Amino acid sequence: MQLLKNKAGLLAIYSLAFALSAKAQDAAVRTVLVDISYHMPVNRIPYLKVTAKEKTGRNFIPLKDIKGKVYIDEEAESSLLEEIQTDSKGESRVFIPAAFKAVWDASDSHRFIVVTGARDELEATQSELEVTKAKIEIDTAYKDGVRNIIVKVFRRQSGEWEPAGDAEVKIAIQSLLGNLPVGDEDTYTTDEEGIVSVEYTEKDLPGDDHGNYVIVARTDDHEQFGNIFAEKKVNWGVVLEPQDLLSGRSLWATGSRAPVWLLGLAFSIIGAVWGTLIYLFIQIIRMRKAGRTAV
Amino acid sequence: MPKKFGKRGVIWTAMLILLCLIGAFAYYRQLRYGLVVTHMGDYVSWGIYISNFVFFVAISLVGSLVTAIFRLGNIHWSTPLTRIAEIIAVSAILFASFIIIVDMGRPERLVNLFIHGRIQSPIMWDVIVISTYLVISLLLLYLPLLPDLKILNEQKEKNMGWWNKVYLFLGGFWKGNARQERINQKAVLILSILIIPVAFCIHTVTSWLFATTYRPGWDSTNFGAYFVSGAFLVGAGAVVIAMYIFRKIYHLEQYITEVHFDQMGRVLVLLALLYLYFNMNEYLVPAFKMKKAEEAHLVTLFTGDFAPMFWFSLLAGLVIPAIIMLFKQGRKPLPMFILGIMVVVGAWFKRYLIVTPTLLHPFLPMHDSPDRFRHYFPSWEEWAIAIGSLAGVLLIITFFVRIFPIIPIQETIVEQNATPEK
């Protein structure tokens, strides 16, 4: 009997503990995943892209309206780049302000710190990204009658540009709806001298009206360099002769350039119908005359 | 015979004139301040005006049905109804032309259509075919009127004041001699043949204004036939309403008999079933496939914001009238009058449903647009102009029956003598 009482007591304690635990889990703080990526586009100001999301089941859900602060090198008011708030995609972009040029130039690498505040049940976070300055150069050469695209990657070290070996780069031809990869590989790895050389055999790719198109090279979320881009215009394309769709007769041309078959068809019908109507008006005149000369 | 307005007639006419004046004031405001007074925007650029335009074009088709198709089909019972059908056709097509000009916002630019018009554009085809149809309808109204004008000219003392001059101008030359009769009959026969393809063209071209535009709900190869069948239905419904009212007010029981309502009921059932068939094609086939772009549009119609209007127009304006008219009791004058109203009201909402929901569901997502562009409900100016134009149609019909005989007297007498009732 005593045993039964003890078991009942234990059961009650377990139930209470389970209920409290479940309650506690319901009100658990949700973890915010903040990601920072560095982007260095061609001839444009470098920027950081901050992404806030949370994991729900197997999916990552973007978090809107997450507020935070982005610092450079240290978490101090003097190093504050910008205060951010994520959009509906959970993203926010921070361009390196011109006021930080001296800070930017002073070092070969920088640390970016993103601090987000707690909101409702979402926890506060702090994320960091260390970036080493790097650049890409594109050159072209003929070797044995074959065009070659030569991509060189450099990293900043002790104030100098040094070749960056073992860096993965993507090489492509820029096009309107997405880039066309060059060669068979998706990515190429630089050698010790920071160089990738790819044979380019395409000869009938259309260019612009002068036969130009643009070669692009970039690193894709490189752990040290982030996303850096380079481009070079080359005159390797087939000259594009735009079709003049408006000067001929067509359904989409101006009224004076309507297709002959349409003009013929339309005016035949209009002529037939209005010809008949004119005939009927003449009949009305005949009826008027017939009224005057009653038969 | 036309007669002076009674007390009810005066009130009715005054009410219509008032509605027209309110519409005119609203149009003045639109001209003064621009189309900004409407609730149309970047997406719904064709609102209640174009719905009204399609409705008027549809209703005008009845002229060709009753006057031409029945005439050529040797269907004599419809003879007393021909003038009703023709005046509905003429007044509706007049206001269809007017409402298009209203929708343009800048009426003085209408001239550009003729200076810089493109024969490749369905809008140009519509302008040509509407003006042609108006002329044919006017002739079909005028030529059969000539023998009746002779009757009016012969009883000047019974006519009203200076209208005798109008009758004399229009039909003073008509002596009813054999040559005139022969020419007139031939002319009416030619017009009856001519109006049928033109009538099919007018509504097919109107449907192509939509169908040649790649949008959910409009991208259909059936649209021409769908519009034409719907137009015959609404036109026939309008004739039934007019038949009942004129019969009641002018005591035309001798001319517009229960047989006419019975026959028109049968015609309406046939047309309703035909239109139902095209509706099933238009909605069920895309709904079966449920392509992503069509889905939002169809869901809005079936279960969304437009669902009450959609099901009302389909059930109250089509299915229920067709079922009731299957029974003989349903084809009696009063039930036919009520069912005619249901058909016409349902048809008006149907045109609104053809125009507006599609414009609210473009293929490309709505980006960076004010919230008001995502919804559409006409402004008071739009309502006033639309109602004013409807009143204008009724006003023309009202004045016409005040001035001219609404039943083709001579023709009906000839018909009755030729085919005595058994």
Give tens-digit pLDDT for B311-323. 999 999 999 999 9
Q: Residues with Cβ < 8 Å from B331, sequence gap 6 or more?
A: B261, B262, B264, B265, B266, B325
Residue from B115, B121, B173 to probe the interface with A (highest A Cβ count within 10 Å): B173
DSSP assignment, residue A57?
A: T
**β-bridge mates for residue A95, sequence order:** A47
From A27-36, A154-163, B8-17, B395-404, the region with the lowest mean pLDDT: A27-36
* Residues A229 and A41 sit within 8 Å (Cβ to Cβ): yes
pLDDT band at B422 (very low <50, low <70, confident <90, very high): very low
* Contact flag B180-A287 (C-beta cutoff 8 Å): yes
> Is it the case that residue A18 has pLDDT exceeding 70?
no
Q: Across the interface, do B120 and A273 touch by the CB < 8 Å criterion?
A: no
Quick check: B183 and A287 CB within 8 A?
Answer: yes
Chain A touched by B169 (CB under 8 Å)? no
Residue in B closest to A273 by C-alpha: B194
Q: Which residue has the tokens 């002769």?
A: A241
Q: CA A114, CA A167: separation in Å to the nearest integer?
A: 26
Return the structure tokens found at B347. Answer: 């048809």
Phi, psi for B155 (deg, rounded to 5) = -125, 60
| Pick from B146, B174, B179: CB nearest A295 | B179
Q: For A48-74, what is the mean pLDDT?
A: 90
The answer to whether the beta carbons of residues A118 and A124 sit under 8 Å apart is: yes
In this prediction, residue B377 carries a pLDDT of: 92
At A74-98, the pLDDT tens digits run: 999 999 999 999 988 899 999 998 8
User: Does the pLDDT value for residue B117 go beyond 90?
Assistant: no
Mean pLDDT of B213-236: 91
Q: Inter-chain contact B177–A292, Cβ cutoff 8 Å?
A: no
**What pLDDT score does B279 carry?**
93
Tell whether B107 is covered by a domain.
yes
DSSP A164-175: -TT-EEEEEE--
Q: Is B132 on the interface with A (CB under 8 A)?
A: yes
CA of B302, closest CA in chain A: separation in Å? 30
State the Cα–Cα distance between residues B120 and A249, nearest whole angstrom.
11
Say yes or no to pLDDT of A221 above 70: yes
Mutate to test the interface with B, among A260, A262, A274, A280 (most CBs of B within 10 A): A280
A251: closest CA of chain B, how far (Å): 6
Better pLDDT: B71 or B395: B395
Give the CA distances from residue A284 to residues A293, B86, B174, in Å, rounded to whole numbers and listed in that order.
14, 19, 10
Task: Tell me whether residue B178 is in a domain.
Answer: no
Among B2, B345, B256, smallest CA distance to B148 is for B2
Chain B nearest CA to A243, separation (Å): 21
CB-nearest partner of B190 from A280, A287, A295: A280
DSSP B180-237: HHHHHHHHHHHHHHHHHHHHHHHHHHHHHHHHTS--TTT--SSHHHHHHHHHHHHHHH
CA distance A192 to A66: 43
State how far residue A294 is from chain B, nearest Cα, in angstroms.
7
The Cα–Cα gap between A234 and B333 comes to 83
Query: Residue B156: what pLDDT?
Result: 76
Q: Give domain status of residue B160, yes or no.
A: no
Q: Identify the residue with better confidence: B284 or A118.
A: B284
Looking at residue B420, its pLDDT comes to 52
The whole-number average pLDDT for the span A159-174 is 92
pLDDT band at A49 (very low <50, low <70, confident <90, very high): very high
The confidence score (pLDDT) of residue B370 equals 78
Residue B327 has pLDDT above 70, yes or no: yes
What average pLDDT score do residues A143-167 get? 91
Segment B226-273, tens digit of pLDDT:
999 999 999 999 999 999 998 998 888 888 889 999 999 999 999 999
Residue A248 has pLDDT above 90, yes or no: no
Within a domain: B172:
no
Which tens digits make up the pLDDT trace of A112-141? 999 998 877 788 889 999 999 999 999 999
Indicate the residue of B118, B128, B173 with minimum beta-carbon distance to A270: B128
Interatomic CA distance for residues B256 and B374, integer angstroms: 49
Residues of B in contact with A273 (CB under 8 A): 132, 194, 198
Chain mean pLDDT for chain B: 89
The token duo for B388 is: 């004013």
Q: What's the pLDDT band for A8 if we cut at 50, 70, 90?
A: low
Q: Does residue B419 have a pLDDT over 80? A: no
Q: What is the interface pTM, i.e. ipTM, of the complex?
A: 0.87
pLDDT value of residue B421: 46
B115 touches chain A (CB under 8 A): no
Residue B62 pLDDT: 84
User: What confidence tier does A24 reach under pLDDT thresholds 50, 70, 90?
Assistant: very low
**Where residue B354 falls among pLDDT bands split at 50, 70, 90?**
very high
- Check CB contact under 8 Å for B180 and A290: yes
What average pLDDT does this structure show over B283-290?
Answer: 90
Judge whether B228 lies within some domain. yes
Determine the structural domain holding residue B346 and report its residue range.
Answer: 7-136+195-363+373-411
Sheet containing A109-116, strands listed edge to edge, beginning at the edge strand earlier in sequence? A80-85, A67-72, A109-116, A125-132
Count CA atoms within 13 Å of residue B228 on its CB side: 16
Give residue A170's pLDDT: 95
Contacts of B2 (CB under 8 A, 6+ apart): B159, B160, B401, B402, B403, B404, B405
**Closest to B19 in 3D by CA, of B388, B394, B390:** B388
C-alpha span between B354 and A199 (Å, rounded) = 58
* Domain count along chain B: 1
In a domain, B419, yes or no: no
Chain B residues near residue A259 by CB distance under 8 angstroms: 120
Give chain A positions within 8 Å (CB) of B119.
Answer: 255, 258, 262-263, 266
Which residue in chain B has the smallest CA separation from A257? B118
The CATH number of residue B271's host domain is 1.20.1630.10
Chain centroid, CA A248 distance in Å:
38
| CA B179/CA B171 separation, integer angstroms | 15
Domains, in order of start, for chain A: 33-132 (2.60.40.1940), 134-234 (2.60.40.10)
Distance, CA of B127 to CA of B309 (rounded, Å):
30
Flag whether pLDDT at B364 surpasses 70: yes
One-letter-per-residue 3-state SS of B59-86: HHCHHHHHHHHHHHCCCHHHHHHHHHHH
Residue B379 lies inside a defined structural domain of this protein: yes
| Residue range B292-310, pLDDT digits in tens | 888 989 999 999 999 999 9
Q: Which of B114, B125, B183 to mutate to test the interface with A (most CBs of A within 10 A)?
A: B183
Under an 8 A CB cutoff, do B191 and A259 touch? no
B407 within a domain of the structure (yes/no): yes
Rg of chain B, C-alpha, whole Å:
22
- Give the predicted TM-score (pTM) of the model: 0.72
Write down the pLDDT at residue A7: 58
Rounded to a whole number of angstroms, the distance from the CA of A178 to the nearest CA of chain B is: 20
Q: Which of B139, B173, B187 sits opposite A292 (nearest CB)?
A: B173
